[in-house]
Each structure stands twice: as structure tokens, then as C-alpha cells.
Structure 1
Amino acid sequence: MNTPSRPTGHTHFLSLPDLAARSAGGAVLWANDDVFAEKENLVKPGPAEHRPATFGHKGQVYDGWETRRRRGVTEDSHDAAIIRLGVPAIVRGVVVDTAWFTGNYPPEISVEAAHVAGHPSVEELVDKTEWTTIVGRTGVNGDTRNPFETDSDRRWTHVRLSIYPDGGVARFRVHGEGLINPDFAENMTLDLAALENGGRITACSNMFYSSPNNLLLPGVARTMGEGWETSRRRDAGNDWVEMRLAGQGVLNAIELDTSYFVGNSPGAARVSGRDGDGAWFEILPLTELQPDTRHRFRVYDDRPVTAARLDVYPDGGMARVRLFGALTPAGLRDVCDRWEAST
């Protein structure tokens, strides 16, 4: 048995995006067993739901992954699932959420990770991949969000969740920092704020209804719940969010998307940028916004930026923020350095 890892008391990694979530491009590629509840439920973005005494032809219907009861159990008997992350990433922590599993949760888990280039087949991942333990075999509680901090600075593309010996897990969250492959960064126009390109939220005034990480997810929002929404302000201030870009770059276009925010979109917004620790400067002046609309603006300022700030007036919700541009030579070097340092 591996040296146990303990649930962390320092859950700051929870502010980082869940890069295993389906909404971030993650997917469950394989599980050795999911006879009671489908493995794909592990990466659904929302919390697990439960309706008591709801039975299908295989038993109680669970919003999670549940395997059959093992017989002839030995110490090493276990079930496992392999998840592909939405983007290569440095994993800072994981959450094994056993919500609603009370008499059928696994008493122990472990988590391993691997970096596999390209688009490996399931067979390659199961039979030919070398896995590294990032959370040693350790106990978990039922009907609980069990968080575990990790300490590896290597980049990973896939993770493997093992449960001992069997049972159910509602959700599996993998929080970390995305990295862009330099091969897809040179001489290209990118969304420099996107999670899949290494962008990250660094500060936010208010996240009462939903996380600002949603602003940087790939694709379009499908509901209001897939964006960022603040509580209603009752003072003279305004809400804001700050983000670190993939690297130093020069912006050429901005998209502020209020899709699905009909009666609660901001009345106006402003976008600022800065380079390193320099002063903030205005990129998009205070501009009125419309509800349920994708707003696009050209940028003609050639000053490089490494961070951006979105101010919304006075409050409200935004579905997505896109900051299109190209990396500077210095920005590309930084991307290459981070990529090489994570091998």
C-alpha cells in the first residue's frame, strides 16, 4: 500500500478551475466497471443530485459513478477510471466527492497522473502508460467532498482515480493551472485569457452565484448558470474580475458575452490591462452593454499586456470573456520556459 495522503486543511487550490470537468473539455475515457452508474457522471460540472427511492432496473439511480460489489476481495482489489483533462496542466489538488453515497462509498482512494502526447487510445492508456502517484492510497468519508492537495510541478494530461475495493463516487474534480503547448502558440492569434491557453482568474470582487472561472471556459454558455454572476450591489461601487493571460501579448479584439443574462446583465463594462507590475491602463473604455448579447470590439492599442481587468457596472452576470491577440517574443519565451519546466 502506498503512503497515505491526508485530506488537506489548505483548500486554496479550490479557487483554481476544475480542468477535468466536461465544460472545460475533460472526459472519462475508461472505467473497468460502471454497472450501477455511468462513469461519465464523474466530470459533470454541477453538483450531484439525488432523488430518494428512485429505482431503475439496476437499482437506485445515482448521479455519479458506481461499481458492483466485489467478491473475493484482497487488499489490492480495486476499481478505476481514467479521465482526460481538458488541457495539459499542473495539478494543484483534487476533490473526491462522495455526495449521496452513504452505505456504498469506497473507504479508500488513490490518484495517479500521466502525460501522454497526442491523442492516445484507451488501450494505450490502460496497458502501456506509466502512471505517477499524486495522491497516495488514503481513506475518504461518505457523502462528503474530500479534498487532497498535491505537490507535483509536472504537467499531466490524464489522471486515474482508483477506489478500494469498490463503490460510488459522485464527482471527481481536478483543480490546476492550464499550460499551452508552445507548438500552438507561435505566430497565432489566440484567446489569451482562455483556460485552455493558460489564462487564469487571479482576483474577483464577488462570486455569489457562480465562479468567475466560467468566464474563461471553452465554447459558449448554454445557460445562465454557466457564466459568472454577482449578487446585487446596494452601494456605490462596482464588481470586477482580474485575470492573468497566457503570456505577454498584444490584444487585437475583445468579446464580452452576456448570453442568457436577460434581466441581470451589467449595464456597462470597462477593460483594462497592464504589463507585469506596471500601472493599469484602459483598453476598452466604459461601454454600454446589452442583455443576452455577444459584444465584439476591435483593439488598436499595441501596448503589451500580461494581465487584464474587467469592471462591470454596477453588478450582474457575464457568460464569457475573450481577449484575442498574439504573444510577444517575450511572451512566447515565457510559455516555452513554463512548458519545459513542467516536464
Structure 2
Amino acid sequence: MTALHQSSLASFTGDANPYGGGDPYADYRTADFPFTQYANLADRQLGAGVIAANDEFFAQRENLLVPERAEFDPEHFGHKGKIMDGWETRRRRGVSAEHPWPAAEDHDWALVRLGAPGVIRGIVVDTAHFRGNYPQAVSVEAASVPGSPSPGELLSGDVKWTTLVPRTPVGGHAANGFSVSVEQRFTHLRVNQHPDGGIARLRVYGEVVPDPEWLAVLGTFDVVALENGGRVEDASNLFYSPATNTIQPGRSRKMDDGWETRRRRDQGNDWIRYQLVAQAQIRAVEIDTAYLKGNSAGWASVSVKDGESGEWTEILPRTRLQPDTDHRFVLPEPAVGTHARIDIFPDGGISRLRLFGSLTEQGAAGLAARHQELGG
């Protein structure tokens, strides 16, 4: 195993106070972590899953990836004890009355399949509401395994695991953040809690690195989609919801599953800027305003540029949008670019943006080279 350097971040250790009533998040400990600008590679919407755990006596492992924050009900008990919104294991014991304490190497683990393979920039191990029953320490390892390996195959001893987070003390009822610095593409994680306890949520932030062979077989695909390696670079306003929602898989399921800005009181407009998976030839545009009924953008335009220093070229002129509607446009001529931008007028929101096309020879070659460099 290879240990990796972590940059200095706010960290928490020790118990939180027992719950005393009122807002359970009032004494929650958290910080702003710089890596949260990246996509959550462990998002269920991308296809992530907790595929195995050695123990989940008190609370099931699947809770780790629930998108909403953990909730706490002080009156919620079951036949096994307090029911927690997270993954919680039973208390470990030693081997005898003379040695009742767990051994130093004793720990519980869960295997996580990332929804989209990629380079990990940071991890948050959230112990919300685990005040005196959180793990003393955690560690996280990662592996890159092709296909769809079973838990048995991942644990067989034939897989190379790289330590992303060495065994590190954590705090109860806190967002424990860890930065990661390694240029490698990973597909799976092994999350360890030492020796036992509970973790409410796991977030794994990073950059999607798609399989170039898969994209080549597809031919035409959405070149800005998060699952294919597109990403949001910047946006004018994130008041109600993140711009990354616009490139998530599938259609929006409710209003806050898209991008909505605050109401403008000036003569400006709002926008999102994207980086495509690689240089691509775009042939069609789809703008969806699903569930945005009284707050949809009034008009939208789409532009692309080729390279960081390229000039922006409008490929879809300012066009009227309808509320709660999927709009599709076939471009009269293919447009080549590495970046895209959607401008909405004057404000409001969209739920999804799709840019359909295929990689150019230059784009495909660049993506293949990066995939190989990252060990994909």
C-alpha cells in the first residue's frame, strides 16, 4: 500500500456533547473544504453503491450514500437499539476477560463502488449525530479494477489498494474532511473505521475520467455530461442549487434537481461555463426546463470555444424557452470546441443541458493519453 500526502485542513476529534434537544445540527462541526467544488463521484445518481460491509448491525451501509444530510429522531428505537441514519456496527470486544479491549488492528469496513471512475481530490467522512458512538479513527483505500468485480474479487488479495487517507482520528458529530493528492484513476474504495462505530455519510469529490474505448464505441454521445467527463467550470449564481445538476444523468425529478438563480433586479443575465470531456464536434443541443414552471429562464443561448484562449462562438442564438419543457435543436453546421457556455435571460433556471456530438481525432487522442497516464 502507498500512503499519500494530505494538505492541512480543519480537523475535528473527540466526542460531541450528548443531544440536549432542539436543532440537532446546532453544535455540528464542519468547515469549508476546497475540494467540494468537484463532483461527488460517490453519487447514487451516477450509479455509486455500497456493495458490501463486514458488519451493519445497528444501521445499514446503504445510508452512507444517501444524498440528503443525515436526520436524527431521538425517539426512534428498534429491536436492536437506537436507529441511526448512517452505517453503524456493533461494539467490538477483545478475546478474553483479561483482554476485553479490541486489538489495534481490529476494524470494520465497507466497499464502495464509485458511480463514475476518476481522480479523487478530497473525501468527507461525516459522523453527523454519532456523538459518542463514532469510530476512533478512519482510513480509506482505493483501487482501480475494470468491469464489475464482486466483493469477493475485490477482497481476494489480487487487487492493489492505495491508501488515500491513512488511519486518522476523527470527531463525533462532525464533517471530517481529507484532501487527496494522487494523479490516478480509481473505481472502488474501502472505507475502514477503527475499531467500530458509526459514519453517517460519505462524499468522494473528484474529476470523472471516462473510458475512452467506451466513448469511441458509442460514437455520438453527450460531450458535456458529468458521467462522460464533462464538468462545470464556473457559474454566475448558485443561490438555490448547484450548476452541476445541469449535467447529471437522467431527467430532473423535482425543481431543486436543476439549476435556479436568484431573481435579478438589474439588466444582466446568468450563465454557466463548462469544460467538455475533450475536443468534440457538437451537432445537437438539448435544453430541459423540467419542473421549472414559474421560474424557468425566459431565453437561452449556447456558445462554444476551442481551447482556453479560443474565442466564444454562438452556436444557438438567443431562443425562447417554455416552462417545464424539453427543447431540442439540431445545429445547421457542426461546432468544434473544448468548452461551452449557456447564457439564460434574464434569470431563472434550467434543469439539464445536453450537447450531443463526438470526439475529434485530437480530442480522442488526448483523452486516451490521459486515461493511460492515470492507470486506467
8 Å CA contact 1:85–1:158 kept in 2: the answer is yes
TM-score normalized with structure 1 length = 0.96
Point out the structure with max Rg over C-alpha. 2
Aligned residue in 2 for 1:40: 62
Superposed displacement of residue 3, structure 1 = 8.8
Match of 1:163 among 166, 176, 193: 193
For structure 1, which runs of at least 5 residues remain unmatched after alignment? Answer: none
Measured in 2, the distance between the counterparts of 1:296 and 1:37 equals: 45
Distance, in Å, in 1 between the alignment partners of 2:354 and 2:138 is 38
SS in 1 for 2:363: helix
Corresponding residue for 2:104? 75
1:57 corresponds in structure 2 to 79
Where does residue 114 of structure 1 map in the other structure?
Answer: 143
1:136-178 CA-to-partner distances (Å, cap 9, x unmatched) read: 1111111111111101101000011111111111110011111
Q: How does 1:176-195 map to 2 (within 5 A)?
A: 176-186=206-216, 188-195=219-226
DSSP 3-state at the match of 1:127: coil
Letter in 2 for 1:34: E
Count of aligned residue pairs for this structure pair: 343
1:275 aligns with 306
1:113 Cα deviation (Å)?
0.2
4+ residue stretches of structure 1 with deviation over 4 A? 1-7
SS in 2 for 1:47: coil
Residue 244 of structure 2 corresponds to residue 243 of structure 1? no
Contiguous gaps of at least 5 residues in structure 2: 11-31, 95-101
Instruction: Give the Cα separation in 2 of the matches to 1:135 and 1:300.
Output: 50
Deviations 1:90-136 (A, max 9, x none): 11111111111111111210110000011111110122322110111
Question: 1:202 aligned to 221, 233, 236, which one?
Answer: 233
Aligned to 1:231: 262
Report the Cα distance in structure 2 between the residues aligned to 1:104 and 1:263, rounded to whole angstroms: 46
Whether 2:286 is the aligned partner of 1:255: answer: yes
Cα deviation for residue 7 of structure 1 reads 5.8
- Matched ranges for 1:4-153 at <5 A: 8=9, 11-72=33-94, 73-128=102-157, 129-153=159-183
Summarize deviations over 1:153-209 as a string: whole Å, max 9, x none: 010000111111111111100111111111112260011001111101111111112
Between the aligned partners of 1:6 and 1:280, the Cα distance in structure 2 is: 36
Offset from partner CA, 1:243-276 (integer Å, 9 cap, x none): 1000101111111111111221111111110000
- Paired position in structure 1 for 2:13: none
Give secondary structure in 2 for the equivalent of 1:99: coil
Q: Is the 8 A contact 1:3 1:137 kept in 2?
A: no
**For the Cα contact (< 8 Å) 1:93–1:175, is it kept in 2?**
yes
Structure-1 separation of matches of 2:265 and 2:128: 35
> Percent identity at matched positions?
49
Letter in 1 for 2:9: T
Conservation of the 8 A alpha-carbon contact between 1:5 and 1:137: no
Structure 1 range deviating more: 218-227 or 331-340: 218-227
Separation (CA, whole Å) in 2 of partners of 1:16 and 1:5: 17
Structure 2: distance between partners of 1:238 and 1:142: 43
How many Å separate the matches in 1 of 2:200 and 2:8?
A: 17
CA RMSD, 1 decimal: 1.8
Report Cα offsets for 1:25-54 as digits up to 9, x if no partner.
211111111111111111111211222221
2:267 maps to amino acid: A
Aligned to 1:304: 336
Map of 2:347 onto structure 1: 315
SS in 1 for 2:256: helix
- When the two structures are superposed, what TM-score results if normalisation uses the length of structure 2? 0.87
Q: Does the CA contact (< 8 Å) of 2:138 and 2:193 recur in 1?
A: yes
Tell me if the contact between 1:6 and 1:138 (Cα under 8 Å) persists in the aligned partners.
Answer: no
- 1:6 offset after TM fit, Å? 6.9
CA contact (8 A) 1:27 1:84 kept: yes
Q: Is the 8 A contact 2:315 2:335 kept in 1?
A: no
Q: C-alpha separation between the residues in 2 aligned to 1:224 and 1:3?
A: 40
CA distance in 1, matches of 2:240, 2:89: 33
Q: Which moved further from structure 2: 22-31 or 326-335?
A: 22-31
The amino acid that maps onto 2:254 is: T
Match of residue 250, structure 2, among 215, 219, 229 = 219
